[in-house]
Amino acid sequence: MEDNSTDTVVAQSNSSEEEIHATDIVFDCPHCNHSLVIDYRGAGLEIDCVECKQPVTVPIPAGMIIDDLDLSTGEVLTQLFQTRRTLLKSEQRIATLEESIDSLKLRRKELEKSRITTLHRCAELVTMCQTMLKQNNDLVGSINRMQSIISEEQQL
């Protein structure tokens, strides 16, 4: 099957018997590792993986410059817009991630603070338990002493 259409750039699975051209870009989906093949004009575009349907950015082969693409002005503009949209999305994602890092840091600080408070309170409880045990021992000692005095008195 020969497809010389210059208008469609569609990713294919690398598993079929489709011929892979020297100009094709072969790469693995970062989500599902499915091997994908796309025409070189797809470089830098965001496409949906044919296997898992997740958005995937087609890698730009090392050394490939925009002149290699031999695109029409419209195609270049489309790629430019798509690249900028991807960039914008990435920037938004970065901002969101930075926000969640900040809130996680804050949360961590709060948890650390409450952990130290809990440790102090536990130490206070341990001290109180030790005091109570000591008082209990004193009490047992006194009771024993009283019992022995009573039995001594009873034997007289």
Interface positions with Zn ion (CB under 5 A): 29, 31-32, 34, 49, 51-52
Give least dist CB 32 to Zn ion, A: 3
Residue 89 to residue 118: CA distance in whole angstroms: 43
Question: Which candidate, 84, 16, 12, 1, places its Cα nearest to that of 45?
Answer: 84
Give least dist CB 45 to Zn ion, A: 15
11/43 with CB nearer Zn ion: 11
52/140 with CB nearer Zn ion: 52
48/91 with CB nearer Zn ion: 48
9/71 with CB nearer Zn ion: 9
> Can you tell me which residue has the tokens 């050394």?
63
